[in-house]
Structure 1
């Protein structure tokens, strides 16, 4: 028996311009050449990666890159460390650079700070592609931390410059800055969080309040997905995280529920539409 669910997709959810730019670039080359190497997942969404792989995208690691010569390789929106460019030059690899302009600007700022002999802290996720690229600008000397508690184990200089991965929580960044100031450090803080991400907080809060249930669609690897899911759940406890329509079960919904679907900046619109169709069929 149909549950008569009213399902709406958030029109502002989905790919940010950095991801759109990288995917458009990849699709253009795939159409011309039939294949293209990409350094790491082009986007933190397995379903979108699978769609592009079917068109000829070949995802490679930094180790795989060492074996390539005379090929084209796409650098995704997350950006890369200077060593990658150097290696490409030495091995006649053409880099198709789809680094997000917001990330590139941040890389340049961090490099300038490092060149000016500033001690650098980066609020970001360990091992995240963007963070590896940022750390590369400092000769890997920057201190990366996900949580302020991690810094209890670190012998910090009395004065340093603080940066953030572009997809982190603005509130958390400022809470960290204030706590470090309260601890007596001299902190030169740079809010380098992408506004296309942070402006979504308020939009998603408003969206999430309007429905009985919220289905948040995102890849499990997406940092930004984790932050935005928390935003939705904070205003609507009936928020569910799914990466694939198959993860949905009918018992989530009650008859006549209103359901809102939204997602991360790495979630494709076609996937949210697929989730909508699945829910409407329940």
Structure 2
């Protein structure tokens, strides 16, 4: 049985940058605080915890003073930086450049919409760290949508500017765009007042066609990702469309031997938050199953 790891899977630039910054700091610091999981992958969080990375939430952040705190790739809203100044915190800012650029675009669009009685709409997962950072650019006045029902929050008689969380599905974004256009037309509004911005990271969107092709080349696909990963959920849905024998696992302990019955070729792939070392551990476990068959 041949087992192949997808060469296009694994960390995107933003995640790799954040992990490297954490490791660089931990090389000479016993403890480094990180606001939220540094990456949506439990195995990698546990690995870095063993090296001294301490995950904290916003309430714990408010109680910290005179220490270093890592800002992860997802970015943060303005109030986090204001708190850091008050508490004399040194921020190790690993915000992804793509996310920072989007935050600036959202802030500019919000300022403009204030003069035009417009609305900022973000296609994204409520409560997600990146979405919190984006809505923070609007004073938390942006409308977050994930489903068609969420569109009921929008006043379609007023201008609408749409952005996307960078890790969402491209197909999902354009479906939402179409639904909004239909609602505007039904309300008798002007489509000229609707500005849709495809702000999905191309490192994410480019993986969709690559994964679709990879999924067709193997009898079985094992998709490795943390269950909290928004990107992982989106990419796994792509894999499932092209290979019915696709399975989602967090690590090698979740593999089932019967998944590989009769398989000659197994493909391993993952999210932008999936480390290569974890996919290699999954590969080793599958190869061991193959030797027993």
Q: Quickly name the TM-score band, shorter chain normalised.
A: over 0.9
SS across alignment from 1:204: helix
- Residues 1:248 and 2:244 are matched in the alignment: no
TM-score (norm 2): 0.93
Alignment partner of 2:241 out of 234, 238, 247: 234
| Contact 1:229/1:241, CA 8 A, preserved across alignment | yes
| Contact 1:177/1:187, CA 8 A, preserved across alignment | no
Distance 1:141 1:256 in 2: 51
- Superposed displacement of residue 256, structure 1: 4.6
**Counterpart of 1:161?**
161
- Superposed displacement of residue 32, structure 1: 1.0
**Counterpart of 2:171?**
171
Distance 2:218 2:15 in 1: 28
CA-based RMSD = 1.1
- Superposed displacement of residue 148, structure 1: 2.0
- Residues 1:39 and 2:39 are matched in the alignment: no
Alignment partner of 1:59 out of 33, 55, 60: 55
**Counterpart of 2:210?**
203
TM-score (norm 1): 0.96
Deviation string for 1:182-216 (max 9, x for gaps)? 22253101110000000001110111100000000
SS across alignment from 1:152: helix
**Counterpart of 1:181?**
181
Change (3 A) 1:256 1:239: closer
| Contact 2:99/2:166, CA 8 A, preserved across alignment | yes
The number of residues matched between the two structures is 278
SS across alignment from 2:231: helix
| Contact 2:125/2:131, CA 8 A, preserved across alignment | yes
